[in-house]
Amino acid sequence: MGTYVYATNIMTAKRTASLAIEAEVKNERGAAQAVTCDAVVVDRDGNAVLSLSAGQQTIAAGQKFTFTLTGSMTNIHFWSPDYPYLYQVCTILSVNGSAVDVYQTPLGVRKVGFNAATGLVVNGHPLYLNGYAPRCSMEWPAVGTPVDWMNELDFKMMKDNNANFVRPMHIAPRKAQVEAADKFGIILACPAANNEGDETDTNKWQERLDIMRDVTIYFRNNPSVLFYEGCNQILTAQHMTDMRNIRMTWDPNGGRLAGLRSNDSDVTLGIREYSCTMDGAGSQLYTPLWDAEYARGEAPRRVWDNYTPMLNPRWDGVNPNTKHITGGYFYIASDYHQALGLNSGNGDFIGITCCPP
């Protein structure tokens, strides 16, 4: 389970909240130990703003115990995309008066809500999500998968371009990416082991649930993570329930939501906690709705205004139906690449149409 830090009873106008820390401890020594658990909340200037103690607990050899520490925070600096303020929570374990372990956890206090009138609300302020949906690897030319400082630079450049949202596609983001999103104030969707559809094999489905569980535990303390993505397409009602239960079991107090990249109109409605569209318009009265891949080549520019730069390099200037590309990468490719052929039938891939003899 690890360490779980969350705020409740958040009052943005009064700048107060209740803080809870759940710290799971395992005694890996050969005899019982009397363990004391304390915690200190430190602001970004290094000042201690809250100290908590859970007292002493004797833990038998090889056994686990979860300490719970609670207290009230005042004069809070809330985390938001336009003010990504981060605290650090230092959880300290002591035996016989000496510290034996210290664990540091990020803390960004933010209050998230949704209503039909204003949409997504962060700390009482409506927030319109806009940003990017890159592959999680976010490769660099000649480098491939980038090192951590390059990941941070990617997020800084996206923030400088007025982005406040990133959906890394298909699999969970790297730790460096999430930490960069925390730092620069970019909200994240967090997929886990996604393919292009549901899974009928019971064992493989359990693997996906296990991965979603691990990802949830790993990132549930990062304020930038707001959405857990159960699948890159549509799930059955039972499987969407399974994914939502992962969120409710391992992150019930983080203000995060579980959903899917692509949604049906009725089967998972009322189960998923947010909704998505892709290449089309949509509306939801009861859950947040955002476009999952609106920055791709096949983006729905057909619904934008006439001042939007067109994507079709072969538009004849006459036929309005061909002005904006809606069908995939193939149709915006160069003549050379189009001559290589289309090997998938849906416009997303360019390649040789047949194998050499």
pLDDT of residue 279: 61
- Measure the CA–CA gap between 242 and 245, rounded to whole angstroms: 5
Convert the pLDDT of each residue in 241-250 to its tens digit: 999 999 999 9
DSSP of 289-306: EEETTTTSTT--GGGS-T
What is the overall mean pLDDT for the chain? 86
Please state, in angstroms and rounded to a whole number, the distance separating the CA atoms of residues 81 and 184: 7
User: What is the spatial distance between Cα 326 and Cα 331, in angstroms, rounded to a whole number?
Assistant: 9
Residue 333 is predicted with a pLDDT of 67
In which element (H, E) is residue 72 found? strand 64-73
The domain made up of 3-107 has a fold known as: Immunoglobulin-like (2.60.40)
Q: What pairing do the DSSP bridges indicate for beta strands 131-132 and 125-126? A: unpaired
Tell me the three state secondary structure of residue 22.
strand
Residue 289 confidence (pLDDT): 83
pLDDT at position 148 is: 92
Cα–Cα distances in angstroms (integers) from residue 348 to residues 44, 246, 297, 321, 329, in the given order:
45, 33, 9, 20, 5
One DSSP character per residue, 332-350 reads GS-HHHHHT--SSSSSS--
Per-residue confidence (pLDDT) for residue 330, from 0 to 100: 66
Q: How far is CA 253 from the centre of its chain?
A: 15
pLDDT at 285: 73
Residue 303, pLDDT score = 47
Please answer whether residues 311 and 295 qualify as being in contact, where contact means their C-beta atoms are separated by less than 8 angstroms.
no
Distance from C-alpha of 198 to C-alpha of 233, rounded to nearest angstrom: 7
Tokens of 75: 């004069």
Long-range contacts of 289-292 (CB under 8 A, 24+ apart): 290/129, 290/165, 292/133, 292/167, 292/261, 292/262
- What residue spans define the domains of the chain? 3-107, 112-295
pLDDT for the residue numbered 292: 80
> In the structure, how many helices (H) and strands (E) does the chain have?
5, 17
Task: Note the pLDDT of residue 295.
Answer: 45
The dotted CATH code for 112-295 is 3.20.20.80
The 10s digit of each residue's pLDDT in 224-237 is 999 999 888 889 99
What is the pTM assigned to this prediction?
A: 0.82
pLDDT tens, 68-82?
Answer: 999 999 999 999 999
Low-confidence ranges of the chain (pLDDT < 70): 1, 279-281, 293-313, 324-333, 341-357
* Residue whose structure tokens are 């630079």: 153
DSSP letter at 10?
E
